[in-house]
Amino acid sequence: MTSMAATPLIRIRGVGKRYGSVTALADVSLDIHHNEFFALLGPSGCGKTTLLRAIAGFEDPDEGSITLTTGDTQPADAGEVDLLALPPNRRPVNLMFQSYALFPHMTVSANIAYGLEREGLARSEIARRVADVLVTVDLQDKASARPRQLSGGQRQRVALARAIVKRPKVLLLDEPLSALDRRVRADMQVELKRLQHEVGITFVVVTHDQEEAMSMADRIAVMEHGRISQIADPVTLYQRPVSAAVADFIGMSTIIPGQAAVDGFTALGERLPAAPSGVIGPALLVIRPEDVRLHADDPTDAAMGSLSGTVLATHFFGGTSTTTVTVAGLGRPVLATQIGPPAHRIGAVVRVGWPAERAIVLPDTP
């Protein structure tokens, strides 16, 4: 299963796309491997849809290449196809549209059969595969319904069935869950992940929801302004972000600007706990809320850092609580998460610290 080492399934190199003065994609390069659940994550307008549509064949990149490995996962018989040379209807990939794009004048089963009919398969084969996929997405009883008679979640499953029934090499999904309400969305995240395992198809999912990407994807490409900022698995992305922007986008964090030197990190005239990072000069210190420790202010306590602040607010979520502390000189308050109820009252003066090895020091490049 994990022959991802050798040849990637999709190889994207130096892809760029401009619309007039807007740069939608700039020098995008990435590899997507066999059977991977890959997420493209970034704020709205960063070029995610454009990249997906370029893979599917609905946008022509201005430059760069997109190739697909044919043959099996064996590197020996792998050949490469230039995807950009093929029209959308001849690419072995399928796109699930953000609007689902179900054909309103056809029943659910006719929608699903449409792609198989285009392959010229025998009627009996088509009927069998449609019936099978309806079971997979649990819509057996909706076979003869029209799209307009379905709920949002059901439409989404029809769109999914219509795409996977073609057994594409890669399934591209553009914000597949954004049209659903919160509760259904949580169910469908689990469902998508299960389906991907079951059908063994490589999924590339576009999303602007970092929690969604983190919880589903094997690897995530974080995009900003048409560029890739970082490609990594969710844990690496969280623990070792390459820029403050990535750190800020992935999960909660406190970011403190300062100066990094060989022997430590200085901000607000204080030495702050930080492990040696190799960064010298203007730098940003990123600390996650769960790593922040708060101590009742005691001038004799020299342990940990030496920042002190005032508790601004506390929030209790049942299992955990979050304390917001304002530190004089810092633009944004420091967030601290701990297990159990909050340990400090609003207005209390506290020392703020963290284990040096948990602090992430990044160069401060404007």
Partner 1 sequence: MPDRTRTGTGTRRPVERGLGWLRLPLIGAFGFLYLPIAVLVVMSFNASSIPFVWTGFSLQWYPTLASNPQVLQGLLNTLVVAVAATVGATILGTLLAVGLARYTRSVLLEAYSLAPAIIPDLVLAIGLLILFTSIGLTLSLFSVVLAHIVFGMAFVAAVVTARIGQTDPSLEEASRDLGATGPTTFLRITVPSLAPAIIAGALLVFTLSLDEFVIAFFTDGPRTPTLPIVIYSMVRFGVTPEINALGALLLLVSFTVVLAAQRITRLTDAL
Tell whether residue 57 is a contact of partner 1 (CB under 8 A): yes
Part of the chain binding ligand ADP (CB under 6 A), chosen from 39-47, 162-170, 239-247, 280-288: 39-47
Tell whether residue 50 is a contact of ligand ADP (CB under 6 A): yes
Tell whether residue 56 is a contact of partner 1 (CB under 8 A): yes
Give the nearer residue to partner 1 in terms of CB position, either 104 or 299: 104
Q: Give me the sign of the Cα torsion angle 99, 101, 105, 110.
A: negative
Tell whether residue 58 is a contact of partner 1 (CB under 8 A): yes
- Structure letter (DSSP) for residue 333: P
What is the SS3 string spanning 40-80? EECCCCCCHHHHHHHHHCCCCCCEEEEEEECCCCCHHHCCE
Query: Which residues 6+ apart lie within 8 Å of 313 measured at CB?
Result: 323, 324, 346
Q: Give me the sign of the Cα torsion angle 276, 278, 280, 282.
A: negative
First-residue to last-residue Cα distance in the chain: 42
CA 59 to CA 54: how far, in whole Å? 5
- The SS3 assignment for 326 reads strand
Binding string, residues 127-146; x marks residues near partner 1 by CB under 8 A: -------------------x
What the block records as the tokens of 190 is 């689990």
Give the nearer residue to partner 1 in terms of CB position, either 134 or 247: 134
Tell whether residue 45 is a contact of ligand ADP (CB under 6 A): yes
User: Using the rule CB under 6 A, which residue among 44, 89, 124, 365 binds ligand ADP?
Assistant: 44
252 binds, among partner 1, ligand ADP, Mg ion, none (CB under 5 to 8 A by kind): none
Taking the complex as a whole, how short is the minimal distance between the CB of residue 116 and partner 1, in angstroms? 9
Give the nearer residue to partner 1 in terms of CB position, either 140 or 149: 149
Give the nearer residue to partner 1 in terms of CB position, either 175 or 364: 175
**CA distances, 7 to each of 33, 68, 73, 316, 346 (Å):** 8, 10, 8, 48, 56
**CA distances, 62 to each of 28, 65, 352 (Å):** 12, 10, 50
Give the nearer residue to partner 1 in terms of CB position, either 118 or 332: 118
Tell whether residue 173 is a contact of partner 1 (CB under 8 A): no
Binding string, residues 42-71; x marks residues near Mg ion by CB under 5 A: -------x----------------------
Q: Dihedral, CA atoms, 299, 300, 306, 308, nearest 10 degrees? A: -30
Angle between helices 123-136 and 152-164 (to 10 degrees): 140
Tell whether residue 305 is a contact of ligand ADP (CB under 6 A): no
User: Using the rule CB under 6 A, which residue among 24, 214, 274, 285 binds ligand ADP?
Assistant: 24
Binding residues for Mg ion, rule: CB under 5 A, are: 49
Task: List residues near ligand ADP by CB under 6 A.
Answer: 19, 22, 24, 42, 44-50
Sites of contact with partner 1 (CB under 8 A): 56-58, 87-90, 94-95, 97-105, 114-115, 118-119, 146-148, 155, 162, 166
